[in-house]
Structure 1
Amino acid sequence: MTDELNEPLGLNEPLEPRPARRRGARAKSLVAAALLCGAGGAALLLSSRDPRAGQPIVVARIETVEPPSAPASAPAERAAVTEEDKRADEIADIEKRSGVKVTRIGGAEPPGALIIRLDEQHTALAPAPDKRLVEKGRSGPLPKIGADGAKPMEVYARPTTISARLPAGAPRVALVVGGVGLNAQLTASAIDELPGAVTLALAPYGADPESVAAKARDRGHEILLQAPMEPYDYPRENPGPHTLLTTRGAGLEDLHWLMSRFSGYIGVVNYLGAQFTADETALTPTLTDIAGRGLLYLDDGTSPRSLVSSLAPRLALTAARADVAIDAGASGEALEKALTQIEALARRNGQAIVAAGALPQTMTRLTRFARELERKGIALVPLSALASRIEDKEARAGKWK
């Protein structure tokens, strides 16, 4: 049974014949399409107006890339050089104007490795020699009391200044370092490295003791004349030319030769002299002359038989005695013991005087000791500060240390 539902769809539709196309028409169509495409391409090229139109073209992606930066250290180094130059100029100017002592490792130029000591400002001392305080002697100029009553021990002394960081009534220590002027290196160390409040005792020998005295005072140190005196085993132990001898009696020629070697000192301290300071006949005229010239006297404390303590008050001599004398051959342990003793004495008595020598084995430790005193609550003062105290409070009462 065949009907519209059971017959395949469209199988029974009558076929209509398609009109045949002519080959010429199809060819024309293809040509027309080609012309249209060519015209479109030409129009595109003309519209772009690109002078390179028709040439080979490579298409590439363009990205924005930051230019490589210079090494980070380069600008910093250039800036650092500029800053270093500025700092060097500033340091040079500060050093020139301030007088601050600067030590550079290896002699480096500013601003190389530095050790800058700012622990103290230079304390100006009165110019020396002061014409009021000089008289002509046979061997050279000698100190004297001025017509106006001015005394060398007062005029040439270093002013006493106590740090505001220390409490009122703080213990005081005077450090006297002798033997300065004999060895160039040790002399330079004593003058430059020790604080200005340290009193220096200069030997009367050497090529130019006047120059050494001037340099020491320029650095703020008050100075003493270290006078050689006769020891018990003289002449086997000979202190040097013009040693004060008991055999010379009341003669003062040697003393005056020693006094004429340099100027600006506040007093005299013995070098050796156990025999001489125990002889009243020889010692009395010497101390009398020292007192009459407005000078003070320091006994270095090495001889228990010294008569200075009994003679000074009645001769109106301003004098002092070292509480501790550091032996020239002291070992490290002995030196530390002596320094500890000084601190204890200063705290107990309110003051202490120590005498030491400018020796290689002691200089470094003495310098550190002197610079540490303030931190320990103790004031470092020049000898003149304590000698005047003794003269005022004890010598007038017939007492002396």
Structure 2
Amino acid sequence: MPINKKKTAPKKPRKRSKKKQLTQNMRILLAAGFLLGFVAICLVALVNLRSFFLTDIPPESGVFTYEEPADVIHDLQAYSYADIRELIENQLLNGPDSMGWRKLPQRDNVQVKQIFGDFPSTAFLAELADHIEQADSHAQLKVSRKDGIIHLFWGDELKLELRYQIPKVTRSQQGRIAVIMDDMGSSLSTIHELLGLHITITPSILPGTSKALAATTLLQKEGREYMIHIPMQPRSYPRTNPGKNALLLGQSENETRRLVQSYMDGVPGAVGSNNHMGSRYTENAAAMRIVLDELKLRDLFFIDSRTIGNSVAFSEARKMGLKTATRNIFLDNEDDVTYIRQQIHKMVKLAATNREVIAICHPHKETLEAFRLEQEWLQQQAVQFYSASELVHIY
């Protein structure tokens, strides 16, 4: 039987797309545009990642994030009068210039207090006034140095009057300066540079840094004193990292004491301490009392770096009978030799009227260069440089 073959339908010709084919040049242009867009997105992502992760660099790396000083205030809620009053008590009634005070008769609902001790410096009062202004409150300080009076207003109402002895215009003795260099312990070459200066500068060593123990050995051999730079929680934590094993609010008393003891073991032979960062931690009186009690047991002093204007660290140390002092000026908020030299001159001016001045700086190459350039001028001024332990007091 013949096999019937199925007839195959003839293939219809394919219809051409009405869309025009892209030319090769257009394809290249589209690819280039896509590539540029992708690169731009990557760059934005890298910048964001950099700003996030650089705040978390541990101290062991030798790179540190320096917290802004007390005259730069961020993220503060509006202060009540009670908040401002507490600030005034910490910084003026129990501040570094006060040798005690007594209550005087109230006048027209105005509290009046006699403060014993020197009238606060212009720089100290300016920093305090800036803090009050930036705290978004109704408070205002009005200062009359020639009359020895400081007034605290709340709105238009006078609330507090502090009376001091009228400051003397001139004094005959020389000013006294202690310079502290924070964040040491990651480089022995920086220690050698510091020791090469003809100016007494006290290193403050971060516990746990790679060269901390070697630095203590070198400084002991040279007969130089040094301090512990205690890492504490800043306001911007955790975005800003104070370092491994830092003191944080919420830690138990036992954990806090254990950490402070570990700092002393990590920087053996230290004569005292000051805070690394700590703008949040030093606002908390209860937490600071635990730290200060451990320092007092080892007869170590504490200097308040005042990384926040509302710090209670100095006033609590004073109440507890520790040897203590507070920072008066930062020298190197900007990594610029000219700026740092200007701050060094400002430091000398602060001390020129027989004041005791605590200055804080950091191991920047610009800072060391500024001191090298200014050391001959400094030796000609009516000031003397001391180790930090010589400018702390029990009040």
TM-score range relative to shorter protein: 0.5 to 0.7
- Paired AA for residue 352 in structure 1: V
Question: Is 2:361 the counterpart of 1:356?
Answer: yes
Give the AA of the match of 1:320. A
After superposition, the C-alpha distances for 1:125-161 in whole angstroms (9 at most, x for unaligned) are: xxxxxxxxxxxxxxxxxxxxxxxxxxxxxxxxxxxxx
Which of these residues, 153, 160, 184, is aligned with residue 180 of structure 1? Answer: 184
Which residue does the alignment assign to 2:44? none
- Name the residue aligned to 2:309: 304
1:278 alignment partner in structure 2: 283
**Contact 2:261/2:294 (CA < 8 Å) preserved in 1?**
no
Q: Matched residues in 1 for 2:363 and 2:251: separation?
A: 30
Matched, 1:194 2:197: yes
Question: Which residue does 2:96 correspond to in 1?
Answer: none
The residue matched to 2:302 in structure 1 has which SS?
strand
Name the structure with the higher strand share. Answer: 2
1:210 partner amino acid: L
Question: Could you tell me which residue of structure 2 aligns to residue 261 of structure 1?
Answer: 266
Cα distance, 1:328 vs structure 2 = 4.3
Choose 329-338 or 307-316, whichever is displaced more.
Answer: 329-338
Structure 1 residue corresponding to 2:344, chosen from 324, 339, 344: 339
Question: Does the 8 A contact of 1:266 with 1:296 survive in 2?
Answer: yes
Question: CA contact under 8 A between 2:205 and 2:227: conserved in structure 1?
Answer: yes
1:366 to 371, 380, 383: 371
- The 2-side partners of 1:330 and 1:339 are apart by 14
Say which SS state the counterpart of residue 303 (structure 2) adopts: strand
What is the aligned partner in structure 2 of residue 377 from structure 1? Answer: 382
Amino acid at match of 1:188: H
**2:243 equivalent in structure 1:** 240
How many angstroms does 1:232 deviate by? 0.8
AA of the residue aligned to 1:385: E
Q: CA RMSD in A?
A: 2.1
Q: Retained in 1: the 8 A contact 2:230–2:273?
A: yes
- Cα shift at 1:368: 4.1
- Structure 2 matches for 1:1-400, cutoff 5 A? 169-190=173-194, 192-195=195-198, 197-250=200-253, 251-370=256-375, 372-387=377-392, 390-391=393-394, 395=395
Distance in 1 (CA, whole Å) between partners of 2:321 and 2:214 is 32
Give 1:249 deviation, angstroms: 4.1
- C-alpha distance in 2 between matches for 1:207 and 1:308: 28
Structure 1 Cα separation of the partners of residues 375 and 270 of structure 2: 22
Q: Secondary structure at the match of 2:250?
A: helix
Contact in 2 for aligned 1:301/1:325 (Cα 8 Å): no
Report if aligned partners of 1:249, 1:282 keep a CA contact under 8 Å in 2: no
CA radius of gyration, larger in: 1
Superposed CA offset, 1:62-84 (max 9, x none): xxxxxxxxxxxxxxxxxxxxxxx
Q: Counterparts of 1:183 and 1:343 in 2: how far apart (Å)?
A: 28
Instruction: Report the Cα distance in structure 1 between the residues aligned to 2:374 and 2:208, rounded to whole angstroms.
Output: 28
Shift of 1:196: 6.5
**CA offsets per residue over residues 97-151 of structure 1, 9 Å max, x none?**
xxxxxxxxxxxxxxxxxxxxxxxxxxxxxxxxxxxxxxxxxxxxxxxxxxxxxxx
Would you say how many aligned residue pairs link Structure 1 and Structure 2?
Answer: 223
CA distance in 1, matches of 2:179, 2:375: 8
- Cα pair 1:242 1:257 within 8 Å, conserved: no
Indicate conservation of the 8 Å contact 2:181/2:363, yes or no: yes
Distance in 1, matches of 2:260 and 2:320, equals: 18
Residues 194-253 of structure 1 deviation map (CA, whole Å, 9 limit, x = unaligned): 347321111212334222112123223210011111011112111211101111142312
Do the aligned partners of 1:196 and 1:219 also contact (CA within 8 Å) in 2?
A: no
1:26-72 CA-partner distances (Å, limit 9, x unpaired): xxxxxxxxxxxxxxxxxxxxxxxxxxxxxxxxxxxxxxxxxxxxxxx
Give the equivalent residue in structure 2 for 1:141. Answer: none
Instruction: Deviation per CA, 1:165-207: give whole Å up to 9, x if none.
Output: xx983221111112221134323322x3234732111121233
Asked whether the equivalents of residues 197 and 220 of structure 1 are also in contact (C-alpha less than 8 Å), the reply is no
Q: Which amino acid aligns with 1:241?
A: K
Q: Which runs of 5+ in 2 are unaligned?
A: 1-170
Q: TM-score normalised to the size of structure 1?
A: 0.52
- Write the distance in 1 (CA, Å) between the matches of 2:318 and 2:182: 25
The amino acid that maps onto 1:198 is I
Instruction: Tell me if the contact between 2:303 and 2:314 (Cα under 8 Å) persists in the aligned partners.
Output: no
Compared with structure 1, are the counterparts of its residues 371 and 352 closer, same or farther at alpha carbon in structure 2 (3 Å cutoff)?
farther
- Distance in 2, Cα, partners of 1:188 & 1:231: 30
